[in-house]
Each structure stands twice: as C-alpha cells, then as structure tokens.
Amino acid sequence: MTATALRPTDLRSVQDAVLDTTGPLAVAGTGTAAGWGGTLGPVDAELDTTGLTGVITHNPGDMTVAVRAGTPLRELAAELAPHGQYVAFDAARVADGATVGGLFATADAGPAALVHGSLRDLVIGVTVVLADGTVARSGGHVIKNVAGYDLAKLLHGSYGTLGVVAEVVLRLHPVPKASATLVVDRPLAEAAELAGLVLGGPYEPAALEWTSAGRLLLRVAGTERALPARVERLRELVGGTEADPWADPWAEHAALVRGDGTQAVLRIGVRPSRLPGVLAELPAVAVTAGLGTGVATVALDPAAVAGAHALVHAAGGTSALRSRPAAAVAPAWGPAPPAVGVLRAVKAELDPKGRFGPGRFDPWM
C-alpha cells in the first residue's frame, strides 16, 4: 500500500494533516538522512515538510531568527549573510540541502560544535504539532507549553517520533571576518596529545578534527588583522602547515560523514578522554574524530556494527547508525541506555498511539 503524500505549507495545514490522518505517519524533509536510525516501518501517510519554508522573523539586533522547519539551512545562510550573521553550524549535509528541521530532528552536527555546540544549543524556541493535533510552543512567545517538558531538548534527536517540528527559533552569531586551517600530520595518539595542549591553552580553535588519513585539522577564526598572529602562535605549538585557502581541507571529513554506500557509517559519542582508546579498538575503515567534543564518525563493515555499538556502550558512550549499504542488515542502536524508560514514558505521553516514525528507535521502543 502506497503511503498518502501530505505537503503542508504552513502551521495550520500541518495541524490539519495530522488531524485528518489516524494511522502511522512519517515525517520527511529533503531526504538527506532518510536511512538514518532504525528502518521506518509501514506508514499510512508521509508528511513532507519541504513546503514549510522561509523566514518568519529575523531580529538582527537580538541575533535571532524564526524560520519554518522545511527551510534548507544553506538557503537560510544566504538570506542572513548580508546582515553579517549566520547559524554557527556546519554539518556536512547542509551543502546537500538538508533542512533546519531535519538537521535538528537527527541531532546532526559538524566540527564547529567544538565552540558552538549542536542545534540543541542553538535552538532557543520550537513549535511542534503533536499526535492529537495540539500545537505546542516552547521558547519565545509562548502560546501553549507541554507542562514539565523542554520541547527543544526533547525533540533534538527524536527522528520524527514525537511530533512534527513546524517552526524553529535559532540563535545567530557574527560571521567571522577571516579563518584559516592548520594541517598537522600525526597518528591518532599523538594527535590526541596535541589536541589536549591546544584545548588547554589560550588558542581558542574554532574546530579541531582528526581524520584517519593521519591529519589533525585545526580551524582558527577571527579578524583579518589578528588572524595571522593567532595562526602563527598555534603553529609554534603544534607545527604543521596552513592549508591552501583555495582548497577545502575539510572535504575528507564531509565525504566520510556522507558515506559512499559501500560501508556502514556510525556516529559515536564518548567522553573526549576515552575517544582515542575506543577508536583504536573499533574495526573502522575510516574515521573522522572531534578530539575536543568526543564525537566521531566511523565507516566500517556492516557486520561489525553490532560489536561497535557494544564497545561504545561499554565505554559509557552512545552510538547511532547513520547509513548502510542498501542490502545490508545492521542494528541502528546498541544496548538500551539507562534512561530508556524515560524515553518510553515521553513517547507514551506525547504520542500514546505510536503514530510517529514507527521503527526509528527499534528495539528500544
């Protein structure tokens, strides 16, 4: 049976779409993360958010913007650029047209999370339509809250299983006047030691990532006048060379995060001090690792995914399957976390009939 396609264009039509359907419902954006998480089960309807586009309110003085959730982040960036502002978020999928709501719902992030965090930290308000048609808001001008819940925190990484995110309010930052990247050739263990020195000193890197090509990338941002001295001070500590400004030293990171369809891609997060040890034990084909955030993306054989989940769980971390070859069978999630009971309770409260995103968190719920 083919799912009914729904494409609302405003908040009211999102509410109508939810109320006019009764069975299982999937929420989809541009599809850049359609295969992430657990395999979606059968649904009666698919709600396409790409009709929910455009800026609602931009307050340059307050450095905030309210935007509809189906807006591609790269389009929002183009609209904000003339004001010298941007959303300080650089997940690889942004270049592929990923939407604000989709990036938020999948808890994606990029190297800039070292300083600015993920969208969990940048989203200051959200409007969501719940399974019973309730329109709930948190942050900004509150019309209706879901008592006891911080909706923005709950919905971040919920994979469309708790409600339909319709509008998002984001904190903005000034666009850096200049930036540069130092490239340092080091194996993982040595790179981790250098990262500790950088993060423990007055160097303030804007991003810090190690790739399995044996390269530590350190991005520095600032004013055009101050940047050269900051780069030189960092080079005196770690060595390396400044990347060609016309090249993209971060391309390897982006390519690995996207995946090439031949391997499974797993996103892991552990305490930063434990990350090098965990990565050394994983049978990874390729790695890109945020040594300051403790978040890494690894490519590995689909048959090794279950073992990788268990290893990360044993280290006190979390892991989620991002992509896999079309015919591969691999678990999306590892052993259930201690808070899985809370997750199930929230799901039962906000979506008691289990309408949204069936299968996304199997076998946890």
Q: How large is the average pLDDT for residues 71-100? A: 97
DSSP annotation of 333 = B
Q: How large is the average pLDDT for residues 343-360? A: 95
d(CA 207, CA 9): 36
Structural domain 4-174, CATH architecture: 2-Layer Sandwich (3.30)
β-pair type (207-211, 215-222): antiparallel
Is pLDDT above 60 for 148? no
Is pLDDT above 50 for 171? yes
pLDDT band at 140 (very low <50, low <70, confident <90, very high): low
Grouping H, G, I as helix, E, B as strand and the rest as coil, residue 276 is helix
Mean pLDDT, all residues of the chain: 93
Q: Which of 104, 147, 164, 162 is nearest to 365 (CA)?
A: 162
The pLDDT assigned to 227 comes to: 95
Tens-digit pLDDT profile for residues 174-206: 999 999 999 999 999 999 999 999 999 999 999
pLDDT band at 118 (very low <50, low <70, confident <90, very high): very high
Alpha helices in 174-250 (DSSP H): 188-199, 227-238
Kindly report the CATH class assigned to 178-249: alpha beta
Is pLDDT above 50 for 53? yes
Q: How large is the average pLDDT for residues 210-233? A: 95
Which residues fall within 8 angstroms of residue 17, CB to CB, at 6 or more apart? 6, 8, 45, 47
User: What residue has token string 């990347």?
Assistant: 243
The pLDDT assigned to 136 comes to: 92
d(CA 359, CA 62): 40
The pLDDT assigned to 143 comes to: 33
The pLDDT assigned to 139 comes to: 72
d(CA 71, CA 34): 17
The pLDDT assigned to 289 comes to: 98
Is pLDDT above 70 for 146? no
Q: Is the peptide bond before 358 cis (omega within 30 degrees of 0)?
A: no
The pLDDT assigned to 41 comes to: 94
Is pLDDT above 50 for 304? yes
The pLDDT assigned to 150 comes to: 79
Angstrom CA distances, 43 to 13, 105, 215, 254, 354, stand at 19, 19, 44, 32, 11
Domain extents in the chain: 4-174, 178-249
Is pLDDT above 80 for 147? no
- How many residues can be counted in the chain? 365
The pLDDT assigned to 305 comes to: 97
